Amino acid sequence: MTERITFTRSSRDGPAIPRPRPSVENLLRIQRIRWDEDLLVIAAAGEIDLATAGRLEHALRGRLPAATVLDLSEVGFLGVAGLRVIESAAARARAERRATGVVADTRPVLRLLNLFGADTHIPVYRRLDHAILEVPKR
């Protein structure tokens, strides 16, 4: 089986040159911020799709505090694989009696959350400061 190579468009100067694929680390950056003893903010920037959803899932694993806010305000694309990770983390939090909130203000992210009904069982906030104040802690 051969691997597909992405090409740039050819120009007047010559033929198309293969363009290297960006690394997963460049497509999605994740930062864990311990806001206080009972609150963890996980900030993501970039694209969350099949290629990068595992990085988000890894950030949401382990022992988490009473409340977790997932800040997606810098995410330009959210795919179904990323949505599954978010819903799975929220379900786990509910089972462990922890709170979860999502910050989103870009149309592609809000649209997917709404289209699949995730916003009906996961609180969605437009701003991080609102989520920090409103997500219940112990």
CATH of residue 43: 3.30.750.24
Provide long-range contacts, Cβ within 8 A and 24+ apart, for 57-64. 57/85, 57/88, 57/89, 59/30, 59/32, 60/85, 60/89, 64/40, 64/93, 64/98
* pLDDT tens per residue across span 67-80: 999 999 999 999 99
Please give the residue range of the domain that contains residue 42.
25-134
Segment holding 82, helix H or strand E: helix 80-95
Residue 37 in domain: yes
Residue 100 in domain: yes
Residue 6 in domain: no
Give residue 15's pLDDT.
64
pLDDT at 121 over 60: yes
What is the rounded average pLDDT of the residues 95-120?
96
Query: Mean pLDDT of all residues in the chain?
Result: 88
Residue 11 in domain: no
Grade residue 23 by pLDDT with cuts at 50, 70 and 90.
low
- Taking the complete model, does pTM exceed 0.75, yes or no? yes
- Of 117, 116, 134, nearest to 125 by C-alpha is 134
Residue 10 in domain: no
Give residue 97's pLDDT.
95
Residue 2 in domain: no
pLDDT at 5 over 60: no
Q: How many domains does the chain have?
A: 1
pLDDT at 130 over 90: yes
Residue 81 in domain: yes
Residue 16 in domain: no
The total of other beta-carbon atoms located within 10 Å of residue 25's CB is 11
